Amino acid sequence: MMDFQTRYLNEMRDRAPAMFNELCRSGQIDAHATEKEREFLSLVRLAVKGEPRLPNGAVRNDNALRSAEEVAAAQLLEFPRE
C-alpha cells in the first residue's frame, strides 16, 4: 500500500503552499494529514470490499488494490486554488 500521508503532504506543499504553511503555523498539519490518511484508507477499503481475499485478508488482485488507491488518492489530492 502506498504511503499516502507523505504523498499528500508533498502534494499540498507543492500545489497549495498557503494551506500547507497555515496548517504548519497553527500546529494542525499532523492532525490534518492523519485525517486525510484515514479518509484514504476508508475509500480504498470501500472500493475493494467485494474483491476476493487471500487467507491473510489481503486483496488477492494487486491491480484492483492499486487502482483503488489511485482513485482514492486522486479524490483526496484535489486542493483549492490559491
Q: Where are the domains of the chain?
A: 4-76
With bands split at pLDDT 50, 70 and 90, how would you rate the model's confidence at 1? low
- AA letter at 5: Q
Residue 26 has pLDDT above 80, yes or no: yes
- Give the side-chain half-sphere CA count within 13 A for 11: 16
Q: Are 4 and 37 in contact (CB under 8 A)?
A: yes
Question: Average model confidence (pLDDT) for the chain?
Answer: 94
Q: What is the pLDDT of residues 37-77, one digit of tens each?
A: 999 999 999 999 999 999 999 999 999 999 999 999 999 99
Which stretch of DSSP H or E encloses residue 14?
Answer: helix 4-15
Residue 46 host element (H or E): helix 29-47
